[in-house]
Copies of this chain bind each other. A is one copy, B any other.
């Protein structure tokens, strides 16, 4: 087990804060959304962190996500149920992407996706705050991470997926000890069921951004990027955006790192990538809106970003605009082409959402939105193995004559 899971953990959380009104909420108490119906953000005594922790001390620690413990909310290490949250590698894709493009391969995390970052944190906090039963709507990967960590820590879980969630995701959730149901609708229809049950006191609602701690886990993507780049951030980040927790989390991470004096005021341009069949953030971005309306009749092969409505819409839009980035939509054919070319040319099997970032990057290169000299990071949010691939080939008869020239 990582030596970062020390029991003499200094914690620096001061309070929680409503992301829209700024109203203050107590730490160490169970919270959902703020009274304004918006996400709560965790605040730290960053001056105290600065006085305690240096980049040199940090560099000497193992690189898993618990090296960042002073910037994370868990007070009791005994509540952390780790499955090995490694620092994910940055992988060049010179042929399908270009010489300055790195893929952050989040498929290497427990349960094969970046959802592990958020859920390991949220489950530890749920344990710390006495939650015993959790429900969640999911397009698949978040449910798998929730199930794994909750089974490990002994919290009961009920998970709801859209009807056409890939079979492998649903099976994985069930295998890992959750009760899982398909629903004939989209993720917000599932969310409505979770919300109803939560209102009746049946369970705690773990929907994206409806509890305050997943974002703290996802924030470590930004912390890692900074450390991996030698405290120099990339010029642009392409992030597949459904609920947007990771994008919001990274933006928060950069802010905290600047307050620690570990990075300067420079920021990457943040590109929120959506599928053109479900692009509420793109539409709102282009219309200059602060909030995004629900996207009707959502459809895309990239199920993980098929999120018609995001409770943190204004936080996503704010980060994208402040960074000088954009919200970009890409079509399914471009997504599938990007996945195929990255696998065939660079040996890296992206998930469709990861493929969307590559497709968006290519389009941005064409339009001059990014330059090929710029250092770019694309997020591959899950292992490509969870997704359908084209069918396999014929069978050879070992007893027959094999035509070697035709192989």
Copy number in this complex?
2
Which residues between 46 and 93 of chain A lie within 8 Å of chain B, taking CB atoms? 62-64, 81-84, 86, 88-92
Interface contact B63-A168, CB-CB below 8 Å: no
Interface contact B349-A175, CB-CB below 8 Å: yes
- A184/B404 contact (C-beta < 8 A), A172-B349, A175-B343, A177-B347 known: no
In the assembled complex, the Cα of A25 lies from the Cα of B383 at a distance in Å of 41
A287 an interface residue at 8 Å Cβ cutoff? no
In the assembled complex, the Cα of A89 lies from the Cα of B63 at a distance in Å of 11
Partner of A168 from the list B170, B181, B385 (CB cut-off 8 Å) is: B385
Give the secondary structure class of A's interface: mixed
Interface contact A392-B167, CB-CB below 8 Å: yes
Partner of A197 from the list B82, B112, B390, B404 (CB cut-off 8 Å) is: B404
Total A residues in contact with B, Cβ cutoff 8 Å: 81
Min Cβ gap A135→B in Å is 8
In the assembled complex, the Cα of A34 lies from the Cα of B88 at a distance in Å of 39
- A347/B181 contact (C-beta < 8 A), A389-B172, A390-B175 known: no
Partner of A184 from the list B111, B112, B179, B396 (CB cut-off 8 Å) is: B396
Q: Can you name 7 extra interface pairs (CB under 8 A) apart from A111-B349, A385-B386?
A: A110-B347, A148-B349, A149-B347, A174-B390, A184-B399, A193-B398, A385-B385
Return 12 A-B CB contacts under 8 Å, by A number. A2-B89, A64-B89, A81-B347, A83-B348, A84-B88, A86-B86, A112-B383, A168-B389, A174-B393, A177-B343, A181-B407, A383-B383
